A and B are shown apart, each in its own frame.
Chain A
């Protein structure tokens, strides 16, 4: 029988797992107990269910389909700024939703320059509110993700295939049929499923661009039941429906191989021999330009328009920023502690990692609803707003963090486990001298990710916060609501800067050599 010495106590991992399970599954139980019967759902609630599914299908479909020509262009072209563009494709992940929303408004909104251009051309400007806006924002967030996923698919095609294709004189059609098509068939369903899942839990986008009977997601309906009617029973019922949607989506996505977003295959373009035709160049140039503009213009708009306002922000924005910073740092610390404890104990019990991953199908608003119900019985939930936000954000970031820390930890144990055991490096000494230095890179990256995600979060906080204790994203939302656009832009620039700075500082700390 193989015998394995466990150098580090396993109970912190069990506590972490219990905490995560309580948040993702326990809150679900609370919600289920509190939920009213289905008969109380109105026609509008069912419309919300339908809208949630339909908008997620369309958003995911558009993101994945548009990603095909973009990824192909990036895969086969080398140009100045290619690496920067690929890095930029990773940015929407840590970009605060509210910032992107304001940026998109500045570009596509009523007074945005796309509308001005359309007007000038004598066309109807597109409306950013309602259905179109929700889809637009979702594509903005997920097209880059889809592009990165597909780009990895292209990177994984062995270069010999392209050499073979060149020697066999494949036409572009043959190339697609024999080489690119099969790869896409393998990768696209997984990418679609992941993006669908992300879009079903969309709250902030629906809150700002959606609303009304035609563009309300279930998450938004939960919020409205909560905030406007204070009908916890109905909010709970909607939360249950949300969970069913997520669970079905997560279950379906399990059927497909979901490619991991990593660095592999993104560095160099594949050397190809079929790309020198003028038409192919034109197509690639077009798509790369389009996606660059689509990503950069909203951010540029925030920077340009926000720069006015940033020195003229009311004190409430600064205090909201301070609250957000504290929350983000707390959330990052919680996320790191939880993920390290979970990963350590998962070396012994693999299923623990599965518990950490449950958050991928959980919804922050459902967690928030459950926690609110529990806290409401014993205290004023608003007193706990920042702590709950930090905690829920930490749990929500676990699926991503565990993927960075788990494998690194397993590698460290595989590489140095025996040596450490033989030298008696046990317990805290092992963590301090072996694990921490070896895990510094992934821990820095993860802390940055968790901090940035929490910094930009506009979800749970909206349920809990009092008017005078908003975080920065919520404050921006309120400024938008009262039409103080310049201040909202300035505050967005501040939020953008803080989020990126948090991520960059932590990641830099992790990569710096000790």
Chain B
């Protein structure tokens, strides 16, 4: 279980607050207008920002000031989620061992993960020689080998076309199911939410509302969501 306890972060005249729990294994969409604080929320969970007040707890233990890599989290960033100078296999291998000194069994785990996302035989390609969709697959293969119980995705597929994006969201969903992980994804597109989310955190003006079932929220949308969708 992921818990936000009286979390508060102020940056200039912007204040982000969150105070709720996310059940284990949930697939959560984080939606809201631009600049509302969605990415900031993910940065706080990831340990890239430090809250002014409150804390985030994982299975009852506070994250405190722990460094990003000490947290049980896999990331998919909006861009630069792969190192351009490394091969696909190296990019995935980093998830097992940052030094890239992989044992035989770790190497086969990397190949296995690449096969699982449909990139068999492309181990030695660099990101520049892969399509946008294939790059996303490499990043998801890394999430697979990392085997972390929490996956954070910050608009990871926004550069892809709609069909490819849906394909990737399905794959991400599959990966999280396979790992039994909790997944939080920032997105701009309501059709993405339909596709994967059970719960939705609505963020507006820095206030993160407690997660609600998507079906319920669609039936009774907050005014901000109506304005956001434009219906």
Contact = CB atoms under 8 A, between A and B. Distances in A.
A212 interface: no
A425 B98 contact: yes
A429 B99 contact: yes
Interface residues of B, number: 26
B68 interface: yes
Given A418-B75, A418-B77, A433-B100, A423 B50 contact: no
Interface stretch (B24-32, B78-86, B167-175, B193-201): B78-86
Interface stretch (A1-9, A84-92, A317-325, A474-482): A1-9
Nearest to B100: A433
A264 B86 CA distance: 28
B219 interface: no
Nearest to A424: B69
A2 to B, nearest CB: 6
B54 to A, nearest CB: 13
A3 B43 CA distance: 10
A40 interface: no
The secondary-structure label for the interface of chain B is loop
Contact of A418 (B68, B83, B94, B99): B68
Interface string B39-57: 0000000111110100000
B10 to A, nearest CB: 9
B68 A3 contact: no
B163 interface: no
B85 A437 contact: yes
B97 to A, nearest CB: 9
Given A416-B80, A433-B100, A422 B46 contact: yes
B77 A2 contact: no
B98 A429 contact: yes
A416 B85 CA distance: 11
Contacts of B94: 423, 425, 433
Nearest to A438: B85
A423 B80 CA distance: 13
Interface in B64-96: 65, 67-70, 73-75, 77, 80-81, 83, 85-86, 94-95
Contacts of B65: 3
Contact of B85 (A3, A422, A424, A514): A514
Interface in A1-46: 1-3, 5
Contacts of A418: 46, 48, 68, 75, 77
A437 to B, nearest CB: 4
A252 interface: no
B65 to A, nearest CB: 8
B75 A422 contact: yes
Contacts of B47: 3, 5, 421
Contacts of A167: none
A437 B94 CA distance: 15
B231 interface: no
B143 to A, nearest CB: 11
A418 to B, nearest CB: 6
Contacts of A423: 69, 94-95, 98
Contacts of A2: 11, 49-50
A279 interface: no
B114 to A, nearest CB: 17
Contacts of B86: 433, 437
Interface string B7-47: 00001000000000000000000000000000000000011
A434 interface: yes
A425 B174 CA distance: 27
B109 to A, nearest CB: 16
A416 B75 CA distance: 12
Contact of B67 (A5, A415, A433, A437): A5
A5 B98 contact: no
Interface in A435-456: 437-438
Given A418-B68, A422-B73, A424-B70, 5 more contacts: A5-B47, A419-B75, A425-B94, A433-B83, A433-B100
Interface of A: 1-3, 5, 415-416, 418-419, 421-426, 429, 433-434, 437-438, 514
20 contacts: A2-B49, A2-B50, A3-B50, A5-B47, A5-B68, A418-B75, A419-B77, A419-B83, A421-B47, A421-B68, A421-B69, A422-B46, A423-B94, A424-B69, A425-B69, A429-B98, A429-B99, A433-B100, A437-B83, A438-B85
